[in-house]
Structure 1
Amino acid sequence: MPEPERLRADAARNRAAILRATEEMLARHHPRQISMEQVAAAAGVGKGTVFHRFGSRYGLMRALMQERAQDLQIAITTGPPPLGQGAPPRARLLAFLTAVVEVVARNKGLLAALGPEAPVTTAPEQQPREEHPVYRSWHGHISHLVHQQRQDLDADMLAHVLLATLHSEPILNALEHGDANRLDRTLRDVVTGLLPG
């Protein structure tokens, strides 16, 4: 294998290992409790590799969130129904919320770490949560599906309300205690109540 190609393959493997290690650590700890050194050790790479690729803990968390969101975006656009196209709006919304709860439950506190309450010193490039690309994408998808099903609802505000649940302390605490299924059931109750089949 030519040298540049081998280096690219090594870099891709390292990136995947770092993100996987970060996600595994987030299953047990809040982002504030995770250091770049711990991630490097868990991923089996040097600390410099993590800093070089992601710059900061915020950069690392953002990259992980964007990767998970990209996986979800691919499922929405090209995957099979009900998450992908071809299912009724309500069925797609229910599938999407289940997928979002899964992502958040696997990465407890990750969305909170990307929000405006994180320390400015660790995330000078932060923006309001609603301007984050992941938030905008999820909000747009939810509001579109709600509008398709019920034009009389304020789809824009309802999308904010549904996503806001994923950032609240009681919900994050519930996820810490393994209550992802409970959150999923509750969100489904809300959606089925508002969007009857």
Structure 2
Amino acid sequence: MPIGVIGIGPALPIIDSEPAERADAARNRKLLLDAAAELVRTGGADALTMDAVAKQAGVGKGTVFRRFGNRAGLMYALLDESDRKLQAAYMFGPPPLGPGAPPLERLCAYGRARLAFTEIEGDVRRAATDNSSHYGGAPYNLTKTHVSILLRQAGTPGDIALLADALLAPLGAALVLHQIRRLGFTLEQVGDNWEALVRRIVPATDARHPDDNRTVE
């Protein structure tokens, strides 16, 4: 049975997991994705090639191709891994990002966590999701559902679906990287501005204890 977060609004599903892997296959996948992430951290998305990942991981290039098919497959696998880590953090991790804090505080923590992931993998996310189909995909809609649930729990008035989109737009990788690299803002400044926006939209009085933020199978 799918796992969801109990709250106002739809349950939050987990991204469908891949078929069970052998232990050695899972280790190889992690090795390759860790190598890919390190290349992005040090050289941006342009450094993410099949040859470079193979060299960084210490394996043959054929291993990378067999695992991911091509560079696009590698990029999406890296983004999927990033989405899974962030989702696990806000569904099962400690507060304020995870359950146990008031909705407003969780929403602010989510924005800052999302920005931290963007700083590391923003080039890849921008290259892989710079099209309208991104908004119909599972990762974006899982994120939108999470934000919508927190907005409803905090008693936010208005059209929640539109508000969720409006709050997620400033966290988009392309815009954040432009603000940091071209305009000279720091990631902390971007996060402070996003939190100020959230606090203007969400009602100021939010003293409810988040008893409905439990997770259930």
TM-score (norm 1): 0.81
Q: What is aligned with 1:58? A: 72
Q: Do structure 1's residue 85 and structure 2's residue 90 form an aligned pair?
A: no
Residue type at the aligned position of 2:177:
L
Q: Do structure 1's residue 18 and structure 2's residue 23 form an aligned pair?
A: no
Q: Tell me how many residue pairs correspond in the alignment.
A: 182
Q: What is aligned with 1:144? A: 149
Is the Cα contact below 8 Å between 1:108 and 1:172 reproduced in 2?
yes
What do you get for the CA RMSD once the two structures are aligned? 2.3
1-structure distance, mates of 2:125, 2:200: 27
Alpha-carbon displacement from aligned partner over 1:84-112 (angstroms, at most 9, x marks no partner): 21211101101111111111111122221
1-structure distance, mates of 2:152, 2:144: 12
Q: What is aligned with 1:122? A: none
Q: Do structure 1's residue 40 and structure 2's residue 47 form an aligned pair?
A: no
- Between Structure 1 and Structure 2, the one with more helix by share is 1
Residue type at the aligned position of 2:197:
V
Q: What is aligned with 2:134? A: 129
Match of 1:181 among 165, 170, 188: 188
* Higher RCO, Cα 8 Å, sep 6+: 2
Q: What is aligned with 2:167? A: 162
Is the Cα contact below 8 Å between 1:97 and 1:184 reproduced in 2?
yes
2-structure distance, mates of 1:47, 1:15: 14
How far 1:38 sits from its partner (Å)?
A: 0.9
TM-score (norm 2): 0.75
Q: Do structure 1's residue 8 and structure 2's residue 44 form an aligned pair?
A: no
The runs of 5 or more residues in structure 1 that have no matched partner are: 1-6, 118-126
Q: What is aligned with 1:171? A: 176
Name the SS of the counterpart of 1:128 in structure 2: helix
The runs of 5 or more residues in structure 2 that have no matched partner are: 1-20, 206-217
